[in-house]
Amino acid sequence: MFVRSRALPAVLALAVMVSACGADSSTGPDANQSATLDQALSAFSNPAVAAAGTVFFDAGAATPALGLNRCPYAAASQSFVCTAFSSKGVSINQTFTLLTASGAPQAAFDAATTNAINAKTTVVGTLNENGTTVDIDGQQNMTLSGLIAGPRTLNGTSSTKVKGVIADIFGSSALDATLTTTITNLVIPNKTAAGAKPWPSSGTIVVESTGSVGGAAIATIRIAMDFSGTSTVNVSRTGPGGTQTCKMDLAKPELGCQ
């Protein structure tokens, strides 16, 4: 079983908060189009993506779910700009762009011509809680493609820098760390049985951390998850001591990695 360490403090979870955005304006989709767009946007909140950010790090905040009422279309940027969201001193800004197969931006969703959605998120601010004060600066860029002919495939990256002072049961220490997440060819099912979660049928999510705590360098730790259609994923952890492998049920994260 993998064990959490002080070198990976809970505050790093803010780096992998899942982007969530939608659209609702007079220039946006009609009711029927909205339903289809909602289904597509839900891929950015896929439980596998959320789990990758919280299984190994205790998240203190999460972005709101994608919703059409939050993100009116902005002609100047040719994208949908979501209402800003704040939590614990951290501001989260989100946008998304509808794209044709050739990559041209669209002002409204069209099931026949909208082939991809590019969603961007920035996370900036100062988290000040229980003796922990850290500055956070992160960006995420994800693209869902294959909306017309399938398969719906999610790719993207995020990088977040966290710097300040953290407090835990061991005391207070200076923190300067970077957490990166890479999502590669995560194939998300179009439909699932009622109440079932759409676990990716294939693809990987890799989370990597590096930096220093208390002035001492943190050994780079790389955690990779391989998906195969169920909540149980193959996990590998590479860091001090070499590489370890195990299986984890993301539907039951409390059981850990075994």
Which tokens hold the place of 160? 């977040």
CA distance 6 to 12: 11
CA 143, distance to chain mean position in Å, is: 12
Digits of tens for pLDDT over the chain (258 positions)?
343 344 344 444 433 332 222 233 333 333 334 457 888 888 887 877 766 655 433 334 556 666 667 888 999 999 999 998 887 788 888 899 999 999 999 999 999 999 999 999 888 889 888 888 889 898 889 999 999 988 999 999 988 888 998 887 778 889 898 988 899 999 988 765 556 678 899 999 998 888 888 888 888 889 899 999 998 999 898 988 899 898 988 888 777 777
The single-letter DSSP state of residue 1 is -
**DSSP H or E segment with residue 182:** strand 171-187
Kindly state the greatest CA–CA separation across the chain: 57
Q: Which of 158, 123, 118 is nearest to 140 (CA)?
A: 158
Total-model pTM? 0.81
pLDDT for the residue numbered 196:
67
Q: Which residue has the tokens 């940027």?
A: 77
Q: Which residues contact 216 (CB under 8 A, 6 or more apart)?
A: none
Using DSSP, state whether 235 is helix, strand or coil.
Answer: strand
pLDDT for the residue numbered 63:
65
pLDDT for the residue numbered 193:
56
**DSSP H or E segment with residue 48:** helix 47-54
Contact at 8 Å (CB) between 121 and 93? yes
